[in-house]
Amino acid sequence: MMPSFVRIAAVLATVLLAACDTLAPKPVPVEPPAPAPAKPVVPPAPAPVPEARPAPAYRAADWSALPGWRQDRPEQAWDAFMRSCTVLVRQPAWESTCTRAATLVNPDGATVRRFFEERLRPWQVLNADGSDTGLITGYYEPLLAGSRSPSTRYRFPVYGVPEDLLVIDLGDLHPDLKNLRLRGRLEGRRVVPYYDRAQIENGSAPMDRKVLLWVDDPVELFFLQIQGSGRVRLDTGELVAIGYGDQNGHPYRSIGRLLVDRGDLPLEQASMQGIKAWARRNPDRLQDLLNHNASYVFFRELPPGLPGPPGAMGVPLSARRSLAIDPRFVPLGAPVFLATTWPNTKQPLNRLLLAQDTGGAIRGAVRGDFFWGFGDDAPAQAGRMKQSGRMWVLLPAGYPLPDGSVRE
């Protein structure tokens, strides 16, 4: 018999399109629990064969196994690590490590490397099938042109969080559902799915009072939502930073994959740059393409002077030293050593990063999204990045490891 809390969660998940996320900026959908099996009406089947033991989640590694560890400059990741520690220090497993780190002032590379080698241990992250390789993509902080008032040029709204967006914290139903949320809205006394992208774009949703800014390009606005944060240069010259506020609860769907499946783009051109070029050639088909991704992100204006956009941890991200991960497999805030290649090349890109963000499309154990930051080079690098990579998470002694991890 299915436990009552699971049945409740299954009903809510079905009603709200099985859309949920972690308590963090970028949304992560969840699958509803499987329904209880029906009572058999045929003679009992033979006793089931025991399930195979799950593949290990982590595998212990030596520092020498990390490609390029000795060549990296870990001091460049120190500020990002200290930002993680503002959150991690509250966890017993991290308290002594982060307290010790706070005593080091402007450490050099040798000191930082020695600190990590003495205080932490590398664990290679493995997929469910036991493999150790996965997809590494990139994201960045885009720059858009906009205004605080609509005009013939600035006519595409950047929406804040709508007042009728209902967020249900499943952790209130049962501790096993901690950090999972469902989103919807009230229709009378019923909870129904929140408006999807097409409904928001065609005016079905009451969004008029929630416009933060107006921008001049719907494609750039779409990719702003994919990135989760960005900056808008207003017609007054003011530069405004905006960050993730919330999401409508619908799962992310790739428009690049749709273009490939329809034969509109070859796979090798299904990058951000390729999608933008297709949009310029097909303006009459653009809205239908964008509506394929029913997920919609709402923003908030950020205070000026932040060193980077806040990630899922709530701390500012660091260009080329922050990584978005799936928090079901890699703990938020932890250092991660990534071994991959530069976009569209075979040149090694091996460096220490901090797992400080999540993403709706970042699903799986060996799966990362490399934050390239802000600037002229960032969009090009992020848009082209679709590399193979391996990951090692660095953890203090005594950190609770996932079931099935291979310790030696």
Q: What is the pLDDT of residues 45-57, one digit of tens each?
A: 333 333 344 455 8
- For residue 1, pLDDT over 50 is answered with no
The enclosing domain of 133 has a CATH number of 2.40.40.10
Looking at residue 2, its pLDDT comes to 43
State the residue for tokens 């809510």.
12
Residue of 273 and 147 predicted with greater confidence: 147
Residue of 268 and 16 predicted with greater confidence: 268
> Is residue 184 in a domain?
yes
Looking at residue 6, its pLDDT comes to 42
For residues 243 and 194, membership in a common domain is answered with: yes
For residues 146 and 242, membership in a common domain is answered with: yes
Q: What is the pLDDT of residues 174-191, one digit of tens each?
A: 777 766 778 999 999 999
Looking at residue 302, its pLDDT comes to 95
* Spatial contact of 336 and 325, defined as CB atoms under 8 Å apart: yes
Q: What's the mean pLDDT in 87-102?
A: 97
Distance CA 210, CA 200 (A): 12
Predicted confidence band of residue 382 (pLDDT cuts 50, 70, 90) = very high
> Is residue 275 in a domain?
no
For residues 194 and 297, membership in a common domain is answered with: yes
> Is residue 267 in a domain?
no
For residues 157 and 237, membership in a common domain is answered with: yes
Q: What is the pLDDT of residues 184-214, one digit of tens each?
A: 999 999 999 999 999 999 998 988 779 999 9
Q: What's the mean pLDDT in 139-167?
A: 96
- Which of 90-94, 175-179, 247-251, 327-331 is the least confident region? 175-179
For residues 176 and 297, membership in a common domain is answered with: yes
For the record, the structure tokens of 273 come out as 């740059």
For residues 123 and 151, membership in a common domain is answered with: no
**% the chain with pLDDT above 70:** 86
Q: What's the mean pLDDT in 294-299?
A: 96
For residues 230 and 313, membership in a common domain is answered with: no
For residues 198 and 217, membership in a common domain is answered with: yes
* Spatial contact of 250 and 296, defined as CB atoms under 8 Å apart: yes
Q: What's the mean pLDDT in 331-352?
A: 97
For residues 156 and 235, membership in a common domain is answered with: yes
Domain ends where: 301, 332, 361? 301
For residues 241 and 159, membership in a common domain is answered with: yes
> Looking at the DSSP assignment, which residues form a beta bridge with residue 331?
none
**% the chain with pLDDT above 90:** 73
- For residue 145, pLDDT over 80 is answered with yes
For residues 160 and 234, membership in a common domain is answered with: yes
Residue 137: its H or E element:
strand 134-139
Domain count, the chain: 2
Residue of 22 and 312 predicted with greater confidence: 312
> Is residue 48 in a domain?
no
Looking at residue 395, its pLDDT comes to 98
> Is residue 81 in a domain?
yes
**Structural domain range at position 321:** 58-139+309-396
> Is residue 40 in a domain?
no
Report yes or no on whether pTM surpasses 0.85.
Answer: no
For the record, the structure tokens of 257 come out as 């994959």
> Is residue 74 in a domain?
yes
> Is residue 271 in a domain?
no
User: Which residues contact residue 256 at a Cβ distance below 8 angstroms, ignoring those fewer than 6 apart?
Assistant: 265, 270, 271, 274, 275
For residues 87 and 154, membership in a common domain is answered with: no
The enclosing domain of 229 has a CATH number of 2.40.240.50
